[in-house]
Structure 1
């Protein structure tokens, strides 16, 4: 059945394409956060193990909401690792040490990168594609990532 929500097919497709990239970024960040949770070592192991668990839980909810947003505008969400790796602008983790400072710095950089991407989309979704719902949705995602980044950044203060 055709999706009739007041947004042209062309604009819905353009928004879905950008949301698919965001979904890929969120999924790669989720995996990198799981990696930190599983592989953290050091005197602060337990504290950071639990901290990363909280963060990947938040990312799991974000992933689901982005996929559902894609579906709500009438498109299918990508759902393969191959598609995520081709769509993401993030890189996979390549670590020599499994210390908390290294994991936190890397995850913080990814959150900040995602924040910049989301911020750039807020106006274009509203003004170029006439999709205020997705613009509002992406604003909420940006705010969530800002808070998650703050928590990560706070661990780096001496």
Structure 2
């Protein structure tokens, strides 16, 4: 019987795993998912900042929508990080300079609700393009779990884009 201390020893993220996915693919996908995780945090932070600071006739719908979005984005970050772990890699310990994720304080006061929406649309579109590429790579590798997760994420982002655009439609 194994000693408890041996069982509880942390294992390296470099350990060999055999889940039917090539190591080179898992390395590449972990990097792609790390970029997607960073984009998710960027959108979480921007959505939260805009939630607090939006003013004008679009205040209520944008305030409510960004609150819904930042909550869902925060939950998604955990799902993405856990998939990185399942592929045998450590989830990123840093996500770059977090200050770069948020709009600059002096700029926020100058942005209209429409400016905020357009900024969020731009970031959602960039995230969608990255996710779509990663989902295609996951499909090609037979990684149905990652492909399915990314399909869920794409569904959220494309709906978010529709809703954001609808708020500012004339």
Q: Give the shorter-chain TM-score range.
A: 0.7 to 0.9
Q: What's the counterpart of residue 11 of structure 1?
A: 25
Sort the Cα spacing of 1:15 and 1:143 in 2 relative to 1 into closer, same or farther, 3 A.
Answer: same
**Deviant stretches of 4+, over 3 Å:** none
2:132 aligned to 107, 113, 119, which one?
119
Q: Deviations for 1:25-50, whole angstroms, at most 9, x for unmatched residues?
A: 11111111111011112244343222
Q: Please give the secondary structure, in 2, of the residue aligned with 1:69.
A: helix
Structure 1: where are the runs of 5+ without partners?
none
Q: Please give the secondary structure, in 2, of the residue aligned with 1:82.
A: coil
Partners in 1 of 2:147 and 2:160 — Cα distance?
20
Q: RMSD over aligned Cα, in angstroms?
A: 2.2
> Do 1:36 and 1:98's aligned partners in 2 also have CA atoms closer than 8 Å?
no
Q: Deviations for 1:83-124, whole angstroms, at most 9, x for unmatched residues?
A: 678xxxx96535352421111111011111111121122221
Partners in 1 of 2:39 and 2:74 — Cα distance?
12
Larger Rg, first or second structure (1 or 2): 2
Partners in 2 of 1:123 and 1:48 — Cα distance?
32
- Normalised to the residue count of structure 2, the TM-score between the two structures is 0.79
Sort the Cα spacing of 1:13 and 1:146 in 2 relative to 1 into closer, same or farther, 3 A.
Answer: same
